[in-house]
Amino acid sequence: MSAVIPYAREDAGAPPSLVADYRSTVPRSPREPLVRIPATLTETTGPTGCWDRLMGPAMADLTTQHRAPPLGQRIIVTGRVLDERGLPVPDTVMEIWQANAAGRYVHVKDQWDAPLDPNFTGAGRVVTDGEGRYRFVTVRPGAYPWGNHRNAWRPAHIHLSLLGPAFATRLVTQLYFPDDPLIEIDPIANAVPMPYRQRLVSRFDMSVTEPNRALGYRFDVVLKGREQTPFEEDAHDH
Amino acid sequence: MTIDVADRIPAERLDNQHSDIFGQTPSQTVGPFFHYGLPWKGGADLVGRSDMGARAELFGEEHYVLNLSAPTGTPLGKVIEVAGRVIDGNGDPVPDAMIELWQANAAGRYRSADDRREAVPVDPHFVGFGRASTDNGGVWRFRTIRPGRVPGPDGAWQAPHLALSVFGRGLIKRLATRLYFADGEGNDTDPVLAAVPVARRGTLIAEARVGGWWLDIVLQGPGETVFFDL
Ligand SMILES: [Fe+3]
């Protein structure tokens, strides 16, 4: 049987669990230290090649899910999923969800006074290609208020969810937009120390932009990598 | 030298694409509004065709764009139900959390390219991955197969277990933990349980109740669940 090669631990850019300025972390973050466990097959494996069966077909274009196009600035968000050595992560599922152009979620618990758009849900899902690439078409989400403190506004963001190859590589994060003045005062973005917070800021990229159609943003997601290269001891399996 | 107007591009910024800060993408919370994006109908039912796992009442029917799990045959093994509450540091249930499940099949094999043990069979009717939203009482629930034993380090065998991730508003990072069974074969020699202080091992061990297995996940405070540093 092949040896289990563990994944790297989190790097210097990782946020803590407790950030007092983000009030919900106060009663919800663990107080005991995390327990280091030996890496086993449980942590180094993850579901392979069964996304359609679990969740249905890909939904890469969030602007064509309803009768008419949604209101708002049409954008393309694209990039690659990589490991921390820069190697692509192919065939991994990436899910997104977001508010509409006015900053309102279709969720019933989102009750602030911004309009819903009957032509926008804001959920998408794709599987990366052989080079780890993904691409979504959506609208740019609006900023929205939240109850964390007086006059609190979340910067515009898209929620991202990635499994990667293993239980150990699971990641949920948020993509922000360049030059948004709310980022530097947002308690959730500020959970990530500088300069690593800038890893969450997408790049406006003219080469992604499509003439007469959509602005383009580039964002790579970097997952944990293996601590060392696997040996070729399993060559007979192939 | 001039640049043609159509070739102009904005100045570079220190951002996601900048090589100076290349590294792991930092984690951020799922927030409170993930229900129409992550937990699909049937995501918590790994053996049947119910719509367990989703909370479709939290958004309009026209916004349900996730699929029902495609029909499958019956997986091998003993069908079990596992459930519990998510509880915060004030002792209150957490109604806006999501639990994600990863487990081996009844034979102890993971449906993964990285589990290469060909002598142990994959079950074509079982994936072993699921998601369950907590309800208004903070309760999550899965219907699945009791997993077989999986090898651990140095030839040791692990006791049957489910790997769980906890997500929610206020959780900047997912919390990774495990669920073991009170009657599980090998609990006393499991290499992961052995890494947990004795006094806290019980936080990972589900108890048998009428209707299934039960394990509360306590985020903070007395009886705080053991979470792992992966
Ligand atoms: Fe949000």
**Is 50 exceeded by the pLDDT of residue A50?**
yes
Q: Is B18 part of a structural domain of the chain?
A: no
User: What would the mean pLDDT of B60-73 be, rounded to a whole number?
Assistant: 78
Tens digit of pLDDT for each residue in B181-220? 999 999 999 999 999 999 999 999 999 999 999 999 999 9
Q: How many structural domains comprise chain B? A: 1
**Is 60 exceeded by the pLDDT of residue B120?**
yes
Q: Is B87 part of a structural domain of the chain?
A: yes
In B1-78, DSSP assigns E strands to none
Q: What is the pLDDT of residue A63?
A: 98
Q: What is the pLDDT of residue B76?
A: 96
Q: From ligand 1's centre to the CA of A157, what distance in Å?
A: 6
Contact A106 B59 (CB under 8 A): yes
Q: Determine which of A25, A26, A28 to mutate to test the interface with B (most B C-beta atoms within 10 Å).
A: A28
Q: What is the pLDDT of residue A236?
A: 43
pLDDT band for B46, please (50, 70, 90 cuts). Answer: very high
In this structure, whether the domain defined by A46-222 belongs to CATH 1.10.10.10 is answered with: no
Residue B124 tokens read as 């074509």
Q: What is the pLDDT of residue B185?
A: 97
Q: Is B6 part of a structural domain of the chain?
A: no
Active site (catalytic) residues of A: 105, 144, 154, 157, 159
The CA distances from residue A31 to A16, A19, B27, B88, B170, in Å, are 12, 12, 19, 11, 14
Contact indicator for B165, B174 with CB cutoff of 8 Å? yes
ipTM at complex level: 0.96
Tens digit of pLDDT for each residue in B75-106? 999 999 999 999 999 999 999 999 999 999 99
> Scanning the structure block, which residue is given the tokens 């850019």?
A13
Kindly list the residues from chain B whose CB atom is less than 8 angstroms away from the CB atom of residue A119: none
Q: What is the pLDDT of residue A52?
A: 81
Q: What is the pLDDT of residue A55?
A: 79
C-alpha to C-alpha distance for B137 and B86, rounded to whole angstroms = 9
Average per-residue pLDDT for chain B: 95
Residue A35 tokens read as 């327990």
Tens digit of pLDDT for each residue in B143-176? 999 999 999 998 899 999 999 999 999 999 999 9
Residue A18 tokens read as 């407790």
Residues 6+ apart with CB under 8 A from B2: none
Q: Is B127 part of a structural domain of the chain?
A: yes
Residue-range definition of the domain harbouring residue B161: 29-218
Q: From ligand 1's centre to the CA of A68, what distance in Å?
A: 24
Q: From ligand 1's centre to the CA of B207, what distance in Å?
A: 36
A195-225 burial code (b ≥16 CB/10 A, e <16):
ebbbbbbbbbbeebeeeeebbbbbbbbbbbb
Contact indicator for B172, A22 with CB cutoff of 8 Å? yes
Q: Is B191 part of a structural domain of the chain?
A: yes
**Is 50 exceeded by the pLDDT of residue A217?**
yes
What's the pTM value of the predicted model, to 2 decimals?
0.96
Residues B1, B7, B10, CA angle at the centre, nearest 5°? 95
Residues 6+ apart with CB under 8 A from A210: A76, A216
Residue A24 tokens read as 């919900």
Q: What is the pLDDT of residue A230?
A: 52
CA of A178: which chain B residue's CA is closest?
A: B15
Task: Say what percent of chain B tops pLDDT 70.
Answer: 98
C-alpha to C-alpha distance for A11 and A29, rounded to whole angstroms = 19
Contact B158 A178 (CB under 8 A): no
CA of A14: which chain B residue's CA is closest?
A: B26
Q: From ligand 1's centre to the CA of A97, what distance in Å?
A: 8
Q: Is B137 part of a structural domain of the chain?
A: yes
Kindly list the residues from chain B whose CB atom is less than 8 angstroms away from the CB atom of residue A99: 33
pLDDT band for A54, please (50, 70, 90 cuts). Answer: confident
Q: What is the pLDDT of residue A233?
A: 47
Residue B114's CATH number: 2.60.130.10
Contact B16 A26 (CB under 8 A): no
Contact B30 A161 (CB under 8 A): yes
B148-173 burial code (b ≥16 CB/10 A, e <16):
bbbbbeeeeebbbbbbbbbbbbbbbb
pLDDT band for A231, please (50, 70, 90 cuts). Answer: low
Residue scoring higher pLDDT (B76 or B73): B76
Q: Is B201 part of a structural domain of the chain?
A: yes
Q: Is B69 part of a structural domain of the chain?
A: yes
